């Protein structure tokens, strides 16, 4: 499976568990109590999901868009979220991103409850997102689009803004980071093009590069290959996998092109009518009878 190095973190946790059993839990190489405690703390940290949704619910008047969804996202993994139209996928992404507030349930990120926080606060904590339809500044260049998201920009503060020397070095640093982000998605030759002049696939990549400027731990993508030719769609996922491998970014991706998605994700969650109906490895979910009925009416 392409891009499956998220299995590395799973294997690493397994190795740590084996080590703890041998050295801490009565094995032949039992350690002193202080080191036992440190080892148990280490395994607890590695075992904790980056994102946890617990009985998450969202109502719009009498319509229940999400109904008691519980799932975990392991740090360093690429997770797929699938389901037919109207199943609640985009609602779930909106909830995690802070675009809307949950009716009930918990959203826990890096151990903190973030359900109900606004999108700005969620972004500051390390969650960025992309949209099904790219939301770029189309009359700005690709480079300028990337210079907007960085956090704590001194030039945006009224007591620094009038004195360029105070924030010139930071501005230059962010410009270098932006050029590097464009290079990562192979858009560097287009740095001075208006976003409106890019192709649909390039706009998708520019949105990913812009999200990288916020230094996210978790990146939420809503149909990153929608409207993109099959060859470029696969290329987008290859770049996503490289970003995970090189930077350790965790991805939660809504996608309808299952033939491509299943080649890259570590785990899949399937929604239908706001409820979780299947989860597991791509091969297991693909063979799920209920999911086949939902998609194909078998």
57 three-class SS: strand
Let me know whether 191 and 158 are in one domain. Answer: yes
Q: Of 209, 267, 199, which is closest to residue 233 (Cα–Cα)?
A: 199
Q: Per the domain annotation, does 82 fall within a domain? A: yes
Q: Per the domain annotation, does 154 fall within a domain? A: yes
H/E segment holding residue 251: strand 250-254
Beta strand residue intervals within 99-236, DSSP E: 104-109, 112-113, 127-130, 218-222
Mean pLDDT of 263-282: 94
Let me know whether 211 and 221 are in one domain. Answer: no
| Cα 201 to Cα 155: distance, rounded to the nearest angstrom | 32
pLDDT, tens digit (0-9, with 9 covering 90-100), for 77-129? 999 999 988 899 999 999 999 999 999 999 999 999 999 999 999 999 999 99
| Cα 234 to Cα 258: distance, rounded to the nearest angstrom | 11
The β-bridge partners of 60 are: 63
| Cα 103 to Cα 63: distance, rounded to the nearest angstrom | 12
Residue pair 213/123 in contact by the 8 Å Cβ criterion: no
Let me know whether 76 and 114 are in one domain. Answer: yes
pLDDT band (50, 70, 90) for residue 230: confident
Mean pLDDT of 32-59: 69
Let me know whether 28 and 64 are in one domain. Answer: no
272 three-class SS: strand
Domain containing 39: what range? 1-47
Let me know whether 66 and 114 are in one domain. Answer: yes
The answer to whether residue 249 scores a pLDDT higher than 70 is: yes
């Amino acid at each position: 499976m392409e891009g499956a190095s998220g299995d590395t973190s799973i294997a690493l946790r397994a190795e740590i568990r084996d080590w703890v059993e041998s050295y801490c839990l009565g094995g032949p190489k039992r350690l002193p109590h202080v080191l036992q405690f440190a080892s148990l703390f280490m395994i607890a940290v590695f075992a904790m999901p980056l994102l946890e949704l617990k009985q998450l619910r969202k109502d719009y008047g009498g319509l229940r868009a999400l109904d008691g969804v519980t799932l975990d996202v392991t740090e360093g993994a690429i997770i797929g979220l699938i389901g037919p139209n109207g199943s609640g996928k985009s609602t779930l992404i909106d909830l995690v991103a802070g675009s809307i507030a949950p009716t009930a349930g918990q959203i826990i990120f890096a151990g903190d409850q973030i359900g109900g926080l606004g999108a700005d606060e969620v972004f500051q904590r390390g969650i960025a997102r992309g949209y099904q339809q790219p939301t770029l500044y189309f009359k700005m260049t690709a480079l300028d689009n990337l210079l907007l998201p960085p956090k704590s920009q001194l030039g945006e503060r009224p007591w620094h803004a009038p004195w360029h020397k105070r924030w010139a070095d930071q501005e230059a640093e962010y410009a270098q980071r932006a050029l590097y982000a464009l290079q990562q998605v192979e858009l560097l030759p287009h740095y001075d093009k208006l976003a409106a002049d890019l192709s649909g696939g390039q706009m998708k990549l520019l949105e990913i590069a812009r999200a990288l400027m916020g230094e996210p731990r978790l990146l939420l993508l809503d149909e990153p290959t929608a409207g993109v030719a099959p060859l470029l769609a696969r290329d987008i996922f290859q770049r996503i996998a490289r970003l995970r491998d090189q930077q350790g970014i965790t991805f939660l991706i809504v996608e309808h092109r299952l033939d491509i998605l299943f080649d890259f994700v570590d785990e899949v969650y399937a929604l239908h009518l706001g409820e979780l109906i299947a989860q597991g490895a791509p091969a297991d979910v693909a063979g799920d009878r209920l999911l086949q009925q939902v998609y194909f009416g078998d």
